[in-house]
Amino acid sequence: MKPTVQQMIDASQQALRDYVAPTVTDQWAASALRSVDVILSHLLARVAGEGPMLFEDNADLAETLAAASASGLAADGIASRIDDFRTRQSDLSIGYPAVDQLLDLNLVGRTLVDELLVACHARKGAAQADDLHARLRAYLDRHLERERAYFFPVYVGRPV
């Protein structure tokens, strides 16, 4: 039987805990080993769900950015980049895209969200800007919820 990526990460982590950690006497090496253990826990949480999470997040970004285009607050440079993002997202929604492609697109979309937040802040008090700001914040809340499992409880616990 071929082991899954999760099983390989889990076995590596367990081997480090059972066989390597007990033999390490240097405090810096022990600290580095604990850091590796946390990173492996993060990867274990992330590897199975990252592709579907990014796929869902990119679809959410496309809808959120479409609303930004419709609001008229996106400057010409941002508007054309939003159109490019939405075209790429649509292309990647067909078939089975690689996680790296989804991640690259996600970073582009979140950069646009950042720029739009700055534009909204510059026009704070204007109804359209405030509405768009609320949409963008709502997207960010959904994004954080999607990523929560990668960080909690992985990075929460006793200090190392």
Is residue 105 a part of any domain in this protein? Answer: yes
Cβ-based neighbour number of residue 42 at 10 Å = 15
Domain count, the chain: 2
Residue located via tokens 């390989």:
8
Can you tell me the distance from the alpha carbon of 73 to that of 127, in angstroms, rounded to the nearest whole number? 11
**Host domain of residue 140:** 50-147
Residues 63 and 90 placed together within one structural domain of the fold? yes
Is residue 112 a part of any domain in this protein? Answer: yes
Longest Cα–Cα distance in the chain: 63
Amino acid 158: pLDDT: 57
Q: Say if residues 85 and 65 touch (Cβ distance below 8 Å).
A: yes
Q: The tokens of 121 are what?
A: 């802040």
Amino acid 71: pLDDT: 85
Is residue 159 a part of any domain in this protein? Answer: no
* Mean pLDDT, the chain, whole residue set: 91
Residues 40 and 80 placed together within one structural domain of the fold? no
Task: Categorize the per-residue pLDDT at 157 as very low, low, confident or very high, splitting at 50, 70 and 90.
Answer: low
Is residue 160 a part of any domain in this protein? Answer: no
User: In the predicted model, what is the mean pLDDT of residues 61-68?
Assistant: 94
pTM for the whole structure: 0.82
pLDDT digits (tens, 9 = 90+) for 78-129: 889 999 999 999 999 888 899 999 999 999 999 999 999 999 999 999 999 9
